Amino acid sequence: MTQARAHSAGPAPAPPLWQLLQSAARVLQAVRQGQSATPALAAVPAELRAGTQSLAFQALRQLGRAQALRTLLARRPPPPAVDALLCTALALAWDPASAPYEPFTLVNQAVEAAKRSRATAPQSAFVNGCMRRFLRERDLLVAATDSDPVARWNHPDWWIRRLQADHPQHWEALLRVGNEAPPMTLRVNRRRSTPDAYQRRLADAGLLSRRVGEDGLVLAHPCPVQALPGFDQGLVSVQDAAAQMAAPLLLEGLPTPPGGRPLRILDACAAPGGKTAHLLERADAQVMALDVDPLRCERITQTLARLGLQAQILAADAARPKDWWDGQAFDAILLDAPCTASGIVRRHPDVRWLRRASDIDALAQAQTRLLEALWPLLAPGGRLLYCTCSVFRAEGEARIRSFVAHNTEAVLQAAPGHLLPSAGAIATSVPENQAGEYDGFYFARLDKRV
């Protein structure tokens, strides 16, 4: 009896590969239907989620090649569920050097996945035929797709052309890094620890890391947050090194308010709260955090509660101050504006397939509306930090150049400008040995004339 209980308390067996392939294919199908991978993964049973995400993200990073191969194997697209399963398997298996399993195993398990799903079972023989042919002719099929830029770079054609125009010296590096898994970067809560002290705690737990930025540590190998010492107690957060630059850039050199009152700061478009928290970790300030989505405001509340921090959190549209502003000017404003997220595509590989070329102009207009709505709320002598997690110049340099040209009160100060995740930084002092540790971002610091 004791042995039986001990056995039942052991770790659950890993789910079979065919089941993970089914689940990853459903995520891919959801993305193709215009849904973000985030809610699609949230709907996956907990015991399958980690494995599903790993396979789905790799499939999304190799989807251009997979779609080109599927076209050669079956020129008429099969039903969506079958096509998603085929493309998932092809994306994972086409390059043996990066395949998570032996290609032969992936093919066998893809056929098994087809047989075990009502949506794909009628065409399991078709899946079997396509995948067996792929195994036989892999080299010829891959060579036949090499001339297709979407297959080669695994990004939409319009995205490739946009990067070629915006970053003619770095576009290839940007596309390559977009297909890599990102590092796991931590931000140490300086109210509760220091980077050096926390790095020692990580080492004691068998987790190697290296310093990045003022408050950051990059793990040598990613791990679940539950494995981070003191995570639940608020010692540390997960935040990319580029995002960690926002709070210091906004706060550095800000004049002390008269009368000894605390800084009054607005974090517009604040969810999920990482930058709000970083501001509060670094300064004794009154922070108002806005987000238009009430559910995402809950994320801000949860983030701050874990870290032992407090802010005024409002569910409101930052572009409509008349709905929420009390008339008191802000000393500083952080505007992390909605954008294409082209700079964080390695973290969110679905983004490239969800976005359309027309989104850039629509988002640029929204960014301009936010700048114009928030600028009057800034006190004379105050500062606005504009940032986007984008590498497209229309959402960064071009947006700020246009704004400054039409606002004589705005003075553009030295700031990083466009950060590129693989090629280092443009117009910035980020050390070259930290290239690749940053997501793609744009920063502009605007001071308001007195």
pLDDT in tens, 126-185: 999 999 999 999 999 999 999 999 999 999 999 999 999 999 999 999 999 999 999 999
The DSSP secondary-structure symbol of 321 reads G
Task: Kindly state the helix (H) or strand (E) to which residue 415 belongs, with its residue range.
Answer: strand 410-420
Helices (H), 188-339: 195-204, 246-251, 274-282, 294-307
Question: Which structure tokens are listed for 384?
Answer: 């606005």
Please check whether residue 341 is in contact with residue 391, taking contact to mean a CB–CB distance below 8 angstroms: no
Report the candidate in 59, 45, 46, 55 with the shortest Cα–Cα distance to residue 17. Answer: 55
Q: Tell me how far apart the alpha carbons of residues 188 and 235 are, in angstroms, rounded to a whole number.
A: 6
Please check whether residue 308 is in contact with residue 334, taking contact to mean a CB–CB distance below 8 angstroms: no
Give the C-alpha distances (Å, rounded to integers) separating 29 from 17, 41, 120, 174. 18, 12, 13, 26
> Is residue 80 reached through a cis peptide bond, with omega within 30 degrees of 0 on the bond before it?
no
- The fold of the 17-154 domain, in CATH, is N-utilizing Substance Protein B Homolog; Chain A (1.10.940)
Mean pLDDT to the nearest integer, 76-100: 96
Q: Tell me how far apart the alpha carbons of residues 303 and 309 are, in angstroms, rounded to a whole number.
A: 9
pLDDT for the residue 341? 97
Question: Which structure tokens are listed for 437?
Answer: 């540790």
Where do the CATH 1.10.940.10 domains begin and end in the chain? 17-154
Catalytically active residues are 389
Where do the CATH 3.30.70.1170 domains begin and end in the chain? 185-238
pLDDT for the residue 420? 86
Please check whether residue 420 is in contact with residue 426, taking contact to mean a CB–CB distance below 8 angstroms: yes
pTM, to two decimals = 0.91
- Percent of the chain at pLDDT > 90 equals 89
- Percent of the chain at pLDDT > 70 equals 94
CATH 3.30.70.1170 fits 185-238, yes or no: yes
Where do the CATH 3.40.50.150 domains begin and end in the chain? 244-448
Question: Which structure tokens are listed for 305?
Answer: 């509660």
Q: Is the pLDDT of residue 424 over 50?
A: no
Please check whether residue 378 is in contact with residue 384, taking contact to mean a CB–CB distance below 8 angstroms: yes
List pLDDT tens digits, range 13-65. Answer: 889 999 999 999 999 999 999 999 999 999 999 999 999 999 999 999 999 99
pLDDT for the residue 427? 38
> Could you tell me the CATH superfamily of domain 244-448?
Vaccinia Virus protein VP39 (3.40.50.150)
